[in-house]
Amino acid sequence: MTHDDQQYDDGAAPRASPGERARQLTRRGELITPEVVDSLPGLARVASHAAWHTAGWGVKTSARSWLRVGKALTNQQEAAALAREAGQAVAVVGELARSVSSGVPVGTALLSAGQSLGAVVEPDSGHGVIDAQIVGSRISPPPTLRERGQDLLERSRDVWSTEQGHPAYDRILTELAPDEARILVLLLTSGPQPSVDVRTGGPVGMVSSQLIAPGLTMIGPRAGCRYVDHVPAYLNNLHRLGLVWFSRESLRDPMDYQVVEAQPDVLAAMHSVKFAKVVRRSIHLTPFGEDFGKSCLIEEEKADADFPEHLAPPAGEVPDSSGG
């Protein structure tokens, strides 16, 4: 019996080379190239890495994915199918990014992407994806205000709770610029900062003084801000979030104002009128801002250190942190 006869004695077809298998798949309309087939073990490793990081989609889906990855290491047809689905997944991820960037809610975009892939949402599973969570096919109504209030009270009675920091801190971090974080650290570690207003002076100024340049400080350079010209906007945003407040009182040490009053912008404002005067003020952290800085911007082992004191704002001086 010849070598060719040995290949047929068990009824199996002769094995084709990877390149020939790719050409056969292409003739059947499947867009698989020899390079893709030869790189399938690598794709299988990539798929296994992705399966590890997406195990949260469900044990059933993950187990089936792992079985397919293992089979793809030895089965060319399974590997080709896995490679084709990987290409489809890349296209779906790109579409997901475009949808979110165009304003589509994240939950809706994830659900659409899962349905496109066919593995994230199974037709018979009765599950969907809402805000990156698997929920029932029927979307449950959000909890009522009373239910949410009862949940808060229940958590307040939990003596084993490890929750730290105000729940608003997470949102506030998303509304801060990097330079604003630097300003908060400066105020926390170095204390209240001097600020001056330049107003008209002289005999007329004693009767009716006009504001020329408000809120001039050295906070930008002292904090190491990258965009010093944006400091007024930074301070307004920090005030809007309830983290800082602007006091009409001056600091106790007058030496703190000498460097500020010698700055070019202060001198230019003073020289813009015949008579000018400087009104000294100060910028402080609110108690909420102090706790935010200690909880989010300072290393944990340094959070219990003694920091400079800030004056508490008068009632109604600081807006709430809701962004209103």
The string of pLDDT tens digits covering residues 282-304 is 999 999 999 999 999 988 888 88
Q: Does domain 168-302 fall into CATH 3.30.110.190?
A: yes
Q: What is the pLDDT, as a whole number, of residue 214?
A: 93
Q: Does the predicted TM-score (pTM) go above 0.75?
A: no
Q: Are 289 and 187 in contact (CB under 8 A)?
A: yes
d(CA 128, CA 160): 33
Instruction: Give the mean pLDDT of 194-199.
Output: 96
Q: What is the pLDDT, as a whole number, of residue 102?
A: 72
239: Cα separation from own chain's centroid: 21
Compute the mean pLDDT over every residue in the chain, rounded to the nearest whole number: 74
Domain ranges for the chain, please list them: 14-136, 168-302
d(CA 249, CA 255): 15
Output phi, psi for 26, to 5 deg: -65, -40
Output phi, psi for 225, to 5 deg: -65, 145
> Tens of pLDDT along 99-141?
767 767 666 766 676 666 554 444 444 445 444 444 544 567 8
Q: Are 266 and 198 in contact (CB under 8 A)?
A: yes
- Per-residue pLDDT band at 67 (split at 50, 70, 90): low
Output phi, psi for 173, to 5 deg: -60, -30
> Tens of pLDDT along 33-66?
444 444 444 444 444 444 444 444 444 445 555 5
User: Is the confidence at residue 309, as pLDDT, over 90?
Assistant: yes
The percentage of residues in the chain with a pLDDT greater than 90, rounded to a whole number, is 37
User: Is the confidence at residue 29, as pLDDT, over 50?
Assistant: no
Closest CA to 231 of 244, 216, 211: 216
Q: What is the pLDDT, as a whole number, of residue 60?
A: 45
Q: What is the pLDDT, as a whole number, of residue 87?
A: 66
Q: What is the pLDDT, as a whole number, of residue 55?
A: 45
Closest CA to 95 of 77, 73, 110, 82: 110
Which contiguous run of DSSP H or E holds residue 279? strand 276-285
- Tracing tokens 């896995």 back to the chain, one arrives at 82
Instruction: Give the mean pLDDT of 239-264.
Output: 94
Q: What is the pLDDT, as a whole number, of residue 98?
A: 74
Q: Where are the beta strands (DSSP E) in 102-251?
A: 127-130, 133-136, 193-200, 211-216, 244-247
Q: What is the pLDDT, as a whole number, of residue 147?
A: 85
Closest CA to 117 of 151, 140, 141, 86: 86
Q: Which has more pLDDT, 8 or 174?
A: 174
d(CA 276, CA 271): 8
Distances (CA, A) of 97 to 86, 93, 106: 17, 6, 10
Instruction: Give the mean pLDDT of 12-36.
Output: 49
